[in-house]
């Protein structure tokens, strides 16, 4: 089959015209585009911004201080990537348009699944980098360890080797009114409407992104605090909802419960976690910080 020259691909040209008509392209606008090379170049440049991948250098330039990449991982966590890993993360799976849209509200962070020794980088191993083992007389921490040491989210789950674009402002979940948005006047966070919050609970998260595992948020919180000496999600004791589950070990109920992580990375990791029992009132006062779905 012979290749069709683009200019003679009538089906494609008809699609271009039909789509342009839908978004308001008139004959006058098409004429301006056809006769103005500078305008056409700007149009092509804008289209290229929407390519589903961005180079590491360009992404860093867009996100500026909201960027935590291989250099920060090496400096603050003492983890150096192999040549194979460097190649795997040299392209960021978000378009430049996506990054520009989220440059002030989101954190672009490189997830790493292992520590400098090659062991799994779990919440426990990450926490132990900056906090000593529980003291023999620390009953509270020993009791927490007896519970958490049996939990996969604490001792087994890791980040993936990939880029995460995480909302660092978050959404307040206090709203029960069916309205598009309100503003949390105390902390300048948008508040999810009742309908949007219901969508979250039912797993319809595409509009805002997706909730990540507890280890992803803990990892981002720790690295952010090491780099900036600030709390990632606002106040020290704010709580963030995660997609991880606590199995119910040592609790009166045995059913799985969703894990909530507290924003205070200065304390031992044993002090960070709460469990939700699925009641709507359990979610009051907990923030959701979804991560954007990759463009590629």
Report, in this order, helix, strand and coil percent for the chain, each rounded to 5: 40, 20, 40
- Are 162 and 190 part of one and the same domain? yes
With H, G, I as helix, E, B as strand and everything else as coil, classify residue 209: coil
Distance separating alpha carbons of residues 232 and 286, to the nearest angstrom: 15
pLDDT at 261: 80
- Are 64 and 29 part of one and the same domain? no
Q: Is residue 114 part of a domain?
A: yes
- Are 107 and 19 part of one and the same domain? no
Q: How many other β-carbons are positioned within 10 Å of the β-carbon of residue 225?
A: 18
Strand 67-68 versus strand 106-111 pairing type: parallel
With H, G, I as helix, E, B as strand and everything else as coil, classify residue 157: coil
Q: How many other β-carbons are positioned within 10 Å of the β-carbon of residue 134?
A: 16
pLDDT at 279: 44
Distance separating alpha carbons of residues 50 and 154, to the nearest angstrom: 38
Q: Is residue 204 part of a domain?
A: yes
DSSP 33-59: HHH-HHHHHHHHHHHHHT-S-EEHHHH
Q: What is the 3-state secondary structure (H, E, C) of 177-215?
A: CCCCEEEECCCCEEEECHHHHHHHHCCCCCCCCECCCHH
- Are 19 and 140 part of one and the same domain? no
Instruction: State CA 285 to chain mean position distance.
Output: 20
Tokens of 131: 């906090």
Instruction: Output the CA angle 220-167-216, nearest 5 degrees.
Output: 30
- Are 174 and 61 part of one and the same domain? yes
pLDDT at 64: 94
pLDDT at 191: 65
Q: Is residue 293 part of a domain?
A: no
Per-residue confidence in pLDDT tens, the chain, 296 aa: 345 555 567 777 888 888 888 888 888 888 888 888 887 777 776 666 678 788 999 999 999 999 999 999 999 999 999 999 999 999 999 999 899 999 999 999 999 999 999 999 999 888 888 876 666 556 666 777 777 878 888 899 999 999 999 998 877 765 444 444 444 444 456 666 666 666 666 665 566 678 899 999 999 999 999 999 888 887 767 788 888 887 755 444 445 567 788 777 666 666 667 665 544 445 556 788 888 888 87
- Are 112 and 153 part of one and the same domain? yes
Domain with 26, as residue range(s), is 6-49
- Are 239 and 280 part of one and the same domain? yes
Residue with tokens 């980040």: 159
Predicted TM-score (pTM) of the model is 0.77
Contact call for residues 114 and 158 (beta carbons, < 8 A):
yes
Task: State the total domains in the chain.
Answer: 2
Q: Is residue 25 part of a domain?
A: yes
Q: Which helix (H) or strand (E) holds 13?
A: helix 10-22
pLDDT at 51: 80
Q: Is residue 295 part of a domain?
A: no
pLDDT at 110: 97
Closest to 171 in 3D by CA, of 219, 105, 228: 105
Beta bridge partners of 189: 184
Contact call for residues 280 and 288 (beta carbons, < 8 A):
no
Contact call for residues 106 and 289 (beta carbons, < 8 A):
no
How many residues belong to the chain?
296
- Are 149 and 206 part of one and the same domain? yes
- Are 72 and 18 part of one and the same domain? no
Distance separating alpha carbons of residues 29 and 16, to the nearest angstrom: 14
pLDDT at 45: 66
Q: Is residue 209 part of a domain?
A: yes
Q: Is residue 296 part of a domain?
A: no
Q: How many other β-carbons are positioned within 10 Å of the β-carbon of residue 215?
A: 26
- Are 129 and 175 part of one and the same domain? yes
- Are 29 and 59 part of one and the same domain? no
Instruction: State CA 281 to chain mean position distance.
Output: 25
- Are 10 and 68 part of one and the same domain? no
Q: Is residue 246 part of a domain?
A: yes
């Amino acid at each position: 089959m012979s290749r069709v020259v683009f200019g003679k691909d009538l089906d494609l040209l008809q699609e271009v015209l039909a789509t342009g008509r839908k978004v308001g392209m008139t004959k006058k606008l098409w004429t301006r585009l056809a006769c103005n090379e500078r305008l056409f170049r700007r149009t092509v440049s804008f289209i290229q911004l929407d390519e589903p991948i961005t180079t590491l250098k360009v992404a860093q330039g867009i996100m500026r201080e909201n960027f935590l990449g291989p250099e920060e991982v090496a400096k603050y966590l003492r983890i150096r990537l192999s040549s194979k890993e460097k190649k795997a993360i040299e392209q960021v799976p978000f378009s430049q348009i996506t990054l520009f849209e989220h440059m002030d509200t989101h954190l672009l962070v490189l997830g790493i699944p292992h520590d400098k020794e090659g062991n799994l980088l779990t919440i426990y191993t990450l926490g132990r980098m900056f906090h000593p083992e529980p003291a023999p007389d620390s009953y509270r921490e020993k009791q927490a360890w007896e519970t958490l040491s049996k939990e996969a989210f604490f001792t087994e789950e890791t980040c993936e080797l990939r880029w995460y674009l995480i909302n660092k402002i978050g959404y307040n979940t206090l709203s029960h009114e069916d309205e598009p948005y309100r503003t949390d006047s105390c902390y300048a966070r948008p508040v999810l409407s009742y309908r949007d919050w219901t969508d979250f609970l039912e797993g319809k998260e595409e509009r805002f992104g997706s909730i990540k595992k507890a280890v992803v948020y803990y990892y981002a919180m720790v690295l952010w605090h090491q780099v900036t000496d600030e709390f990632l999600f606002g106040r020290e004791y704010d709580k963030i909802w995660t997609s991880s589950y606590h199995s119910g070990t040592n609790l009166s109920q045995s059913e799985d419960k969703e894990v909530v992580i507290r924003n205070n990375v200065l304390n031992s990791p044993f002090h960070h976690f709460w469990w939700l029992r699925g009641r709507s009132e359990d979610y009051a006062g907990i923030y959701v910080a979804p991560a954007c779905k990759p463009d590629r």
